[in-house]
Amino acid sequence: MINRGAPVRARTEFPFIMPARQAVRGGPPVSRGPVPAPPAPRARGMRAVSVWGVTKNSMQQRSVTTISRAPSPTEGRTAVALHPAAGRMEQFDRVKAFCMWCVIWGHLIQYMRSDDAFADPAFCLIYSFHMPLFLCLAGWFSAKALQLPFPSFLLQQARRLLLPVATWCVLLIVPLALCRTPFRWEHYAHALLWEYWFLRALFLCFVGTWAVVRLPQQWMRAGAALFLLLLTYRYYFSFAFAFFLTGFYMRPHARSLFRSHLVRTTVLSGILFGLLLVGWDGSCTVYLTPGVTWKNLLAEPQAAPGRLLVEIYRYATGLSGSLFVMGLAHSLFLRGRVAAVLQWMGRYTLGAYIMHIAFVLYTLPWLFTADALPRPLANWLLLPVAAFLLQLLLALLQQRMERSRIVGFLLFGRQLKTPQARGERGKMRNARIKTGRSFCFCGPWRAKEERRP
């Protein structure tokens, strides 16, 4: 029964719901009240920005808030529509936690055993999709940062990505000097220039995408993206930039991929990923077979077709695996303590990635190895459990270390907050506790309501 006295929302408020005057199949048009007046014309020089929110359980979308503001000088030249998300999506936090667990697991297989890791089935399975998935997620959530002017954007990304790399690379010299007794400059040069290559490549991907999306024409953006893809393979930039751009351009189609056609996306990507894994081995990884760049294209043109085929195969495998994992994350509605722990661990993936390098690469191999254990038992059972426990420990360690503003700024690239801002943050946290919506590392909990006498 239709309530004619209920207020009618404007069509622009819920763009994914049918219009109010939608004709019922086989009957006359149904009216839900008076048709709202058309919106007043905005002043010249103003722009409407749609900001998407997320409900408390982060599974449903809220209404769209239309804000009118004047565009910045650089924002007006943006040629691609950017869609920043206002809320935090719990399923993506769980995906990030799963990816970080795969990274630590793969590094334990590689550095805790003396045999060839690229010939191990578990290692090859992990390295077929985990870095492409991380890069797709980074491009997925890059729209808000890409809207900033270039000076502010560059400073923000340098603080978030390059400052922790510089700090931890200097700190890695200490375990290098203690563990590797023969003094060799190559060890220190590798630690300073190549460690944490993922964060360095991510910074270059942000800068390249910021430049690409601001070109006015589509053919210009395609040409600039192709030029950057073939520019260099240092820090595996070509590999990283392809998946970063894929995640960025995938974001506007999120509703079609993971809501309207969720089952189809998950099943088809899973089938394709399984078929592509049949021919996958360690030689297909980015570490053993580099892709095509302008340099090797001019130096060895006869090897370019083979490298191009390997790169296409690697891209298809990584993309299908990424879509399959993201589809599973949207399909499986995890609840309870396990889902809360995974969501909490997904918020501290930066610290887990940074700190596990010092543990796995420079500390644990000199203390003990897993060579004495059977290979299937160690790689498929013991090392995955050890990776999960190590990730949990590192996430808890980062949470404790970020209580200091200076430590969080230098080691993890957190923004320095004034005491006034910290006080406001504490008030908001106390308000969430009183309303029963709070969170700790052991899971969500509800505080007891204060009873008034």
Name the packing angle between helices 336-346 and 90-111 (round to 10°).
Answer: 70
pLDDT of residue 12: 38
Q: Answer whether residue 72 is part of any domain.
A: no
Q: Which amino acid is at 228?
A: L
Q: Answer whether residue 182 is part of any domain.
A: no
pLDDT of residue 272: 97
Note down pLDDT in tens along the chain; length 453 residues. Answer: 444 444 444 443 333 333 434 444 444 544 455 555 555 554 444 333 333 333 334 333 333 333 334 444 444 444 444 444 445 677 889 999 999 999 999 999 999 988 889 999 999 999 999 999 999 999 999 999 999 999 999 999 999 999 999 999 888 776 666 665 565 666 667 677 788 899 999 999 999 999 999 999 999 999 999 999 998 888 899 999 999 999 999 999 988 888 889 999 999 999 999 999 999 999 999 999 888 898 888 888 888 899 999 999 999 999 999 999 999 988 876 667 888 888 899 999 999 999 998 888 877 887 888 888 899 999 999 999 999 999 999 999 999 999 999 999 999 999 886 545 555 555 555 555 555 544 443 333 333 333 344
- Where does 236-312 show beta strands of DSSP type E? none
Residue-wise pLDDT tens digits, 341-390: 888 999 999 999 999 988 888 778 878 888 888 999 999 999 999 999 99
> Phi/psi zone of residue 202: left (φ > 0), alpha (ψ -120 to 50 degrees), beta?
alpha
Question: Domain range holding 378?
Answer: 91-144+204-411
Residues 83, 53: Cα–Cα separation, whole Å: 11
DSSP three-state, residue 50:
strand
> Phi/psi zone of residue 83: left (φ > 0), alpha (ψ -120 to 50 degrees), beta?
beta
Name the packing angle between helices 383-401 and 336-346 (round to 10°).
Answer: 60
Q: Which amino acid is at 235?
A: Y
Question: 255: buried, middle or exposed (CB in 10 Å: 19+, 13-18, 0-12)?
Answer: exposed
How would you label 18-48 residue by residue, b for 16+ Cβ within 10 Å and e otherwise? eebeeeeeeeeeeebeeeeeeeeeeeeeeee
Distances (CA, A) of 292 to 131, 310, 314: 19, 10, 12
Would you say 198 and 148 are in contact if contact means Cβ atoms under 8 Å apart?
Answer: no
Question: 56: buried, middle or exposed (CB in 10 Å: 19+, 13-18, 0-12)?
Answer: exposed
Q: Answer whether residue 213 is part of any domain.
A: yes
DSSP three-state, residue 47:
strand
Residues 339, 94: Cα–Cα separation, whole Å: 8
Q: Answer whether residue 444 is part of any domain.
A: no
Question: 153: buried, middle or exposed (CB in 10 Å: 19+, 13-18, 0-12)?
Answer: middle
Q: Answer whether residue 370 is part of any domain.
A: yes
Would you say 378 and 370 are in contact if contact means Cβ atoms under 8 Å apart?
Answer: yes
By DSSP bridging, strand 438-440 and strand 65-69 are unpaired
Q: Answer whether residue 5 is part of any domain.
A: no
DSSP letters spanning 91-135: HHHHHHHHHHHHHHHHHHHHHS-SS-GGG-HHHHHHTTTHHHHHH
- Where does 18-59 show beta strands of DSSP type E? 47-51
Residues 316, 453: Cα–Cα separation, whole Å: 65
Phi first, then psi: give them for residue 26, nearest 5 degrees: 85, 15
* CA distance from start to end of the chain: 44
Residues 179, 193: Cα–Cα separation, whole Å: 19
Q: Which residues pair with 438 in a beta bridge?
A: 445
pLDDT of residue 178: 60
CA max distance for the chain: 87
Residue-wise pLDDT tens digits, 349-362: 999 999 998 888 87
pLDDT of residue 444: 38
pTM: 0.74
Question: 391: buried, middle or exposed (CB in 10 Å: 19+, 13-18, 0-12)?
Answer: buried
pLDDT of residue 435: 53
Residues 442, 89: Cα–Cα separation, whole Å: 19
Overall domain count for the chain: 1
Would you say 397 and 147 are in contact if contact means Cβ atoms under 8 Å apart?
Answer: no
Question: 132: buried, middle or exposed (CB in 10 Å: 19+, 13-18, 0-12)?
Answer: buried
Q: Answer whether residue 69 is part of any domain.
A: no
Q: Answer whether residue 78 is part of any domain.
A: no
